[in-house]
Structure 1
């Protein structure tokens, strides 16, 4: 089946986001920082905000659980923009090259509805998607729940077997494979253009 659609995750693929970019300077103690991020402001907590829970509610819930960490927990989303360090230039360059091809470009991201507008406003490459982006916080669905892929497929009338899905999270990659997508898992050293070529994207037109 010919590839017609290329679907990008954002965090870890096009955007370099990490809470350590803020908390390294805050704590000046890596051991304490890692304890905080593993046990207090853990991924499982943050992902509920990506699923659609408000930042204020999520913060209050965690402050009630860990009142001795209130200052740090309230600093988390107050300083979220510091955690969004930059784009990932080599992968954004691939996206820009794909813009002027016949491939249809989409975004499918786990991202809070409250914080995503900041990225849209501050990184121009998001305009390449022409609004064809499915955001977990808006849909109240989150990868790897298969339903969020179905939202994408049905909303834009595309087929999984004509699509490449690009993500850095192995659980998301496995779910996308099970739904019939071709997939590329991104690592720090991934040459995205080469990986696209391997699975049949016509890079000669890029």
Structure 2
């Protein structure tokens, strides 16, 4: 579905991989002596698809119990995914946070659309170094909506809840499929691979300085 593009007044950010450096390896490198064994565990046991189900609203206790029953020899490591989730948060992507601050100073409407568990996201908002999460006028969290990107319904929920016109908004995400979904709904969108490229793109639309 296309949309007429007007003056941009809204920027929507993904969080993990764009503003927040999230990676389960930050935790599991402490728990594994063997890098290859760690990668097998993340590819075969605590997979991205398994984690996405928590992003879609599945309770963590149910997720850990069911996977532990399937892989009883890994029960402790599976439980660590939930219990040690703070260690997966490596810090902020400073260049992106600087851009967010510049957009805020310029009076641009700022929102976030994130695939994140409804159980852990409120705790992330309490972490001091992530204080910029309070700069957004609104955040749509997949776990709360029981919908995950790139499902177009979660983007529509963002538009409707905050009266966002897709043609007046840009979207930033490090997952190409989510960028493609935003573009299909009429937004201009950027596949994030680093703050420098993002700055150039935002500057090309007159939103920040080059």
State the partner residue of 1:82. Answer: 87
Shift of the 190–60 alpha-carbon distance from structure 1 to 2, 3 Å rule, reads: farther
- Cα RMSD between the aligned structures? 1.3
Name stretches of at least 5 consecutive residues in structure 2 with no aligned partner.
Answer: 1-5
- Out of 200, 203, 206, which is 2:208 matched to? 203
Separation (CA, whole Å) in 1 of partners of 2:38 and 2:77 = 10
TM-score, length of structure 2 as denominator length: 0.93
TM-score, length of structure 1 as denominator length: 0.95
1:31 aligns with 2:42: no
Separation (CA, whole Å) in 1 of partners of 2:29 and 2:194 = 21
Separation (CA, whole Å) in 2 of partners of 1:196 and 1:49 = 32
- SS class of match (1:3): coil
State the partner residue of 2:159. Answer: 153
State the partner residue of 1:103. Answer: 108
Separation (CA, whole Å) in 1 of partners of 2:53 and 2:162 = 26
- Out of 86, 91, 98, which is 1:93 matched to? 98
- SS class of match (2:110): strand
Q: How far off its partner does 1:202 sit?
A: 3.1
Separation (CA, whole Å) in 1 of partners of 2:119 and 2:109 = 27
Is the contact between residue 159 and residue 166 of structure 2 (CA under 8 Å) also seen in structure 1?
yes
State the partner residue of 1:53. Answer: 58
Name stretches of at least 5 consecutive residues in structure 1 with no aligned partner.
Answer: none
Q: How far off its partner does 1:102 sit?
A: 2.8
